[in-house]
Structure 1
């Protein structure tokens, strides 16, 4: 009996090993039944209009043409995306580059960035007319609602130094992201952490129909990148061709989104039925200026060592990071898009 059990156990182990071997491709992932490689992808945050480009790449078959069967899952902010990618729960994700650099300076997660979605940071403080904020100098003494650990909160000390105010004079009230528009509209806070593309959503949530007041970090810190494409360091090192193919397919979706924001918003609604197409379209129209800012001449997704070093130096000067950090610690330049 004992021998029979041992044989059965051995057969089970061999069976699992065989299944694993059949599922493991040379490019570091599992294959779907149609021969496509299964890949998991996390949006930066939820499924707002700003995330439409991934769904465009999915809808238009760019991922499939590159050999991937992609599952898109809503992300919950840069730090969480980094941790999920580092832990193997996702292969790729989107996160703010500055927040990524700050996080990697404080904890060594096995992730790297391989291209930029935005050539300029979209982080901002947003308010409404009549709440006492019209310019950066109005921020001291005010209360800002935001999710702890969000890009806007993490980057605020850097922005505060750039505009000449003491970050300690501004209070950040921990608040769940879905409730931020209503919290601002109620006047319980004078501002919220928000990406600039959140303007149409904020204005729609205000029953008094006030105009949004936006203080973009990128206006004072133009060297800061916005969202970046994140993957695990082992994928970047061991399977560079896969990473390049995935990035190329995703950026095709981004280019189409740039070219036709309204069509991209309609595509998003197909996959996320509760999408407000008008709001999503306005978000994407605003985002165009961050994908390709005025004067930008590089390839879509461009990232350079010189600029990454500028970002690191800026963060060090602002005491946002206090440990040594090199460009290669945060980005794999060999996999970044080339002209």
Structure 2
């Protein structure tokens, strides 16, 4: 019995030592105890399409390593899932649509926050193909749209519908796994799909009739909306702000290089994700340029402002996507960690 107690005590000491090593003061500076790199887990916003290349660029060019991180990139499966995984500690950082983050946090108080923007304009919208009866917002009533339940495009649709003057309930959303969306649309089983603007090359390539895509952009009607944001746990942002800043800065360096050289970024993505279609990925990234830095945007990459966040919250309240007073800017973004002019 005495020997057993001694073994248990020794294991407890070793366990505490391990916890201390993993959570010691050095973590505040983005590095683990000793001379090693801190292991960090990161979720893409959705799968490993071309639009996600910037994280792999940061990995390939050593930006994460220079900041003190050993980063594992895992494909995400949409904003809400990314939020839940980060909140539960299965990932340290992730990417998700800012408006969907705000709507979700207004309904369930997950311990997550955003610390910077990937896109200064929303990429969300509805995509169709020529000849399928959708040429503008007024064509949507009575149509069926395929999308994954809980997707950004579906969560934000009522806000868009109110803006363009249609009844959101007049449009049917058909639950469909994301990998099946291009084929379901091409086969004419639905008239449209929920899709980001950058998905246009992929959708057109999947259509055997080679029809051009028709895109209804939420961002064009609602220019105040941000696109994807950098998500992390609230406690990480509060207790280790230097680590969060270093990680975000490294990721944004990868984004800047991707913006400057879409071809090079697509080639890097191909190295890490061998099934990447480089031509499609490059086309996605070229479309994404205008969302990373719109023509009227003069701020630093990743910028967030309280005024704009407040406008978004007001818009969501007006559209009844969230209840009045459900959230405040500080509930969805840690402004002191975001890049500033």
- Shared fold by TM > 0.5? yes
Worse-superposed segment, 207-216 or 24-33: 24-33
SS of the counterpart of 2:195? strand
Report the Cα offset of residue 25 of structure 1: 3.4
> For residues 104 and 312 of structure 1, what CA distance do their matches in structure 2 show?
11
Is the CA contact (8 Å cut-off) linking 2:42 and 2:94 kept in structure 1? Answer: yes
Equivalence map 1:286-297=2 (5 Å): 286-297=287-298
Structure 2 portions without partners, runs of 5+: none
Counterpart position of 1:314:
315
- Among 329, 332, 337, the residue aligned to 2:331: 329
Is the CA contact (8 Å cut-off) linking 1:316 and 1:322 kept in structure 2? Answer: yes
Q: How many residues align?
A: 338
Q: Residue by residue, what CA displacement relative to the aligned partner does 1:41-77 show, whole Å, maximum 9, x if unpaired?
A: 0000000000000000000000111111111000000
Counterpart position of 2:15:
16
SS of the counterpart of 1:112? strand
User: What is the root-mean-square deviation in Å for CA atoms of aligned residues?
Assistant: 1.2
Report the Cα offset of residue 323 of structure 1: 4.6
SS of the counterpart of 2:58? helix
Structure 1 portions without partners, runs of 5+: none
Is the CA contact (8 Å cut-off) linking 2:46 and 2:77 kept in structure 1? Answer: yes
Equivalence map 1:219-258=2 (5 Å): 219-258=220-259
Report the Cα offset of residue 32 of structure 1: 8.6
SS of the counterpart of 2:146? strand
> For residues 286 and 37 of structure 1, what CA distance do their matches in structure 2 show?
34
> For residues 171 and 23 of structure 1, what CA distance do their matches in structure 2 show?
48
The answer to whether residue 2 in structure 2 is matched with residue 3 in structure 1 is yes
Runs of 4 or more off by more than 4 Å in structure 1?
A: none
The answer to whether residue 141 in structure 2 is matched with residue 154 in structure 1 is no
Report the Cα offset of residue 9 of structure 1: 1.1
Report the Cα offset of residue 23 of structure 1: 2.9
> For residues 24 and 330 of structure 1, what CA distance do their matches in structure 2 show?
25
> For residues 174 and 38 of structure 2, what CA distance do their matches in structure 1 show?
43
Counterpart position of 1:268:
269
Normalising by structure 2, we get a TM-score of 0.97
Report the Cα offset of residue 5 of structure 1: 1.1
> For residues 30 and 42 of structure 1, what CA distance do their matches in structure 2 show?
20
Report the Cα offset of residue 34 of structure 1: 5.2
Report the Cα offset of residue 7 of structure 1: 1.2
Equivalence map 1:1-339=2 (5 Å): 2-26=1-25, 27=27, 31=32, 35-324=36-325, 325-339=327-341
> For residues 18 and 296 of structure 2, what CA distance do their matches in structure 1 show?
52
> For residues 77 and 210 of structure 1, what CA distance do their matches in structure 2 show?
27
Is the CA contact (8 Å cut-off) linking 1:56 and 1:264 kept in structure 2? Answer: yes
Q: Give the 3 Å change call, closer, same or farther, for CA 64–211 of structure 1 in structure 2.
A: same
